[in-house]
Amino acid sequence: MANSSTSIKIALQSLLFVILANLIFTSYSPMEPIFKARYGLTSTELGIITSFIFLGSMTMALLTGFFVDRIGRKNSIKISFLILSTGSIIISIFHSYYFIIIGYYILGFGYGIITPATNSLIMKAYYPEHSRFMGIKQSGVPVGAAFSAIILPVIAIEFSIEILYFAIFILGIIIFILINPDKFISQRKTREPYIKQLWSMKKNKLLIYVSLSSISLSLGQQTLLTYFVVFAKYKGFSLISGEILLACVFIGAVIGRIMWLRLNEKLFNKNRAVMLSFIMFLSAMSFLFLIFFIKILYLMVILSIFSGACAIGWNGMYVTLISEMSSEGNVGLFSGFSMMIMTFGPIFGVPLLGILLDYTNYFYLWLSMSLIMLIAAIFIFLIRHSFDNSRLSIYKNRT
């Protein structure tokens, strides 16, 4: 078993997998203004694209324990990139809004394996010094998304949407070929059937509490990513300026995903739930600040970084807590079950907020998101003592 003092290879590999997967998966965010202009889409229709991405991710979440814990971590990642390539080629070949939805559903389905698989890699390699590496690994999400925001619109505008997604298809195939497979995990005769294991997750109250609270976090993240560039254009910024501000959001997310875990090692007696509640409160404030969005670029750069650190930077803390709550060999199962619940936010919430936006304006959008986040922060804070390290048996202690 590797550890933090002898090897960083697995952490860097996991980081690379996450960056490349998110470069593909998060293409919806910077591309939505281009899709909107090309197909004349409403805010509700943009929200539906996001909804289908996470519907695909939710579908895969039901299966991640089987893939990651039983088939193998790197084998699962290979499968992920193959599915991501399939979704990309559909968007490239078929030129309609409905095939964009289908393609993104498949992208979400493929991406759903990445986080549980890399969570398992990190926990297996570095526990109990896993938190710093989990934060580094999860910083690959906004890094990949930042590359997506900077690179993909330029290619789409300079060439075409079709060429862009064909290039993404080729990228996914190359990664699929280059990843070295691991041996299939031998199954113990005493191991429960996967469906029975998955069904048993509903009895874990703490897992349910964290997963329910994360619905608001995921909703806030995807609402910000779905409407942020369009919002910037609405306020008078150019498309390029809007994409730059989105890149600043991702910069903040990188900072947050590393910073919150490091701070939590010194604050709140390492209680992950208290830190998560604190991040939720700051996220609520960041959405409230967006109401006062003004056309001064340097001020909006600061606000964008802050919003990214809070409304997107929470994920490293969340995946660490979920992974710690699992037992060795079941990280994929716990991660997948929690992510299945978490995706209800983007699936149902983003389109509903899109409808609200179509009939009102951005004031009500950001205010609603701020109130949702504040309620979730209060909820998780009230049950914080259930997550004290002295009361929570984690990972190795459960094997």
**Max CA-CA distance within the chain?**
64
Under 8 Å between Cβ of 18 and 141: yes
On whether the CB atoms of residues 281 and 380 are closer than 8 A, the answer is no
- Provide the 10 A C-beta neighbour count for residue 399: 9
Tell me which residue range forms the domain holding 275. 9-179+194-398
pLDDT at 190 over 50: no
Which CATH number goes with the domain that contains 247? 1.20.1250.20
The better pLDDT of the pair 395, 88 is held by: 88
In a domain, 2, yes or no: no
- 188 in a structural domain: no
Over range 178-183, report the average pLDDT. Answer: 80
Determine which of 21-30, 148-157, 324-333 has the lowest per-residue pLDDT on average: 324-333
pLDDT at 398: 47
Nearest-angstrom CA–CA distance, 391 and 3: 26
Confidence of residue 373 (pLDDT cuts 50, 70, 90): very high
With beta carbons less than 8 A apart as the criterion, state whether 36 and 46 touch: yes
The reported pTM is 0.75
Query: Quick one: what percent of the chain has pLDDT higher than 70?
Result: 90
Contact present, 373 and 216 (Cβ < 8 Å): yes
Q: What is the pLDDT of residues 94-103, one digit of tens each?
A: 878 889 899 9
239-250 burial, b at 16+ Cβ within 10 Å, e below that, comes to bebbbbbbbbbb
> Does residue 91 belong to any structural domain of this protein?
yes
| Rounded CA separation 183/179 (Å) | 13
Question: Residue 5: pLDDT band by 50, 70, 90 thresholds?
Answer: very low
Of the chain, the end-to-end C-alpha distance in Å amounts to 16
Residue 308 has a pLDDT of: 92
Does residue 1 lie in a domain region?
Answer: no
With respect to residue 189, please indicate whether it lies within any of the assigned structural domains.
no
Q: What is the mean pLDDT of residues 95-119?
A: 89
Long-range pairs, 154-158, Cβ under 8 A, ≥24: 156/31, 156/34, 157/34
Q: Is residue 187 part of a domain?
A: no
Cβ-based neighbours of 188, under 8 Å, separated by 6 or more: none
Summarize pLDDT for 266-295 with one digit per residue, the tens: 888 778 888 999 999 999 999 999 988 777
Total domains present in the chain: 1
Q: What is d(CA 44, CA 175) in angstroms, rounded to the nearest whole number?
A: 34
Which pLDDT band, with edges at 50, 70 and 90, does 6 fall under?
very low
Are 229 and 30 spatial neighbours (Cβ–Cβ below 8 Å)?
A: yes
Look at residue 33 and tell me if it is in a domain: yes
Nearest to 126 by CA among 4, 261, 257, 270: 4
Quote the CA–CA distance of 342 and 345 in Å, as a whole number: 6
**Residue 269 maps to a domain:** yes
CA 344, 120, 26, 166 dihedral sign is negative
